[in-house]
């Protein structure tokens, strides 16, 4: 599975990508990028670096925008950074397979969103700009982000499945630009067509 993912990402590297060069999208981002990264930012940046084989920077900022064009960095809203840090500290506490009530459903969904944001933004770093394609590729790499943050492989895959079944379908009506009917096992955006395990 890892080998197949790397092959797909290698193809992405051929697209015009940032290759570690920081290009502030907004004037205010320059100051953000100048300061030293916090622990949470380093955690997110390290995972994005492993996923992209680039050297991206991540900053947690209240005006976090989800960039469409590769700029060598991405921003995440502080709550998402906090969710990532909480997951990194105790991955097993956010296992959707153990969730039996609405409270954990909310926190598990928030964590899954934070993990998905790291992988989504990583595909932008690789040069992809079509949001539906980026979202679909990102969903297929949630397991990678989760496992790099300490989750077991089975839990990491369960989080990917949770996102695919509970969160992704909502995009069709809530954020249609981020949804495509081609995002399924065997669909146009399936990164691992030989494998029938989905989305991991």
Q: Which residues bind Zn ion (CB under 5 A)?
A: 66, 131, 134
Quote the tokens at residue 181.
């009917």
Q: Least Å distance between CB 131 and Zn ion?
A: 5
User: Residue 46, Cβ neighbours under 10 Å: how many?
Assistant: 15
Structure letter (DSSP) for residue 60: E
Q: Closer to Zn ion at the Cβ: 41 or 131?
A: 131
Q: Closer to Zn ion at the Cβ: 83 or 131?
A: 131
The answer to whether residues 36 and 71 touch, using CB atoms and an 8 Å cutoff, is no
- Residue whose token pair is 């380093």: 42
Q: Closer to Zn ion at the Cβ: 116 or 158?
A: 116
Q: Least Å distance between CB 123 and Zn ion?
A: 8
Q: Closer to Zn ion at the Cβ: 131 or 155?
A: 131
Distance from C-alpha of 118 to C-alpha of 130, rounded to nearest angstrom: 16
Q: Least Å distance between CB 168 and Zn ion?
A: 14
């Amino acid at each position: 599975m890892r080998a197949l993912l790397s092959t797909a990402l290698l193809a992405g590297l051929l697209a015009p990508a940032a290759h570690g060069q920081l290009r502030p999208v907004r004037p205010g981002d320059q100051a953000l990028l100048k300061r030293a990264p916090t622990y949470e930012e380093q955690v997110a940046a390290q995972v994005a670096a492993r996923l992209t084989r680039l050297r991206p920077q991540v900053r947690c900022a209240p005006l976090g925008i989800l960039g469409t064009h590769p700029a060598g960095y991405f921003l995440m809203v502080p709550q998402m950074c906090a969710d990532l840090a909480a997951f990194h500290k105790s991955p097993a506490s956010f296992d959707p397979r153990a969730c039996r009530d609405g409270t954990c459903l909310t926190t598990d969904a928030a964590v899954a969103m934070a993990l998905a944001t790291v992988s989504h933004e990583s595909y932008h770093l690789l040069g992809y700009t079509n949001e539906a394609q980026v979202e679909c590729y990102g969903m297929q790499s949630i397991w990678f982000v989760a496992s790099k943050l300490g989750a077991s492989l089975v839990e990491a895959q369960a989080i990917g499945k949770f996102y695919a079944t509970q969160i992704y379908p909502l995009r069709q009506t809530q954020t249609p630009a981020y949804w495509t009917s081609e995002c399924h096992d065997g669909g146009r955006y399936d990164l691992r067509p030989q494998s029938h395990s989905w989305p991991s």
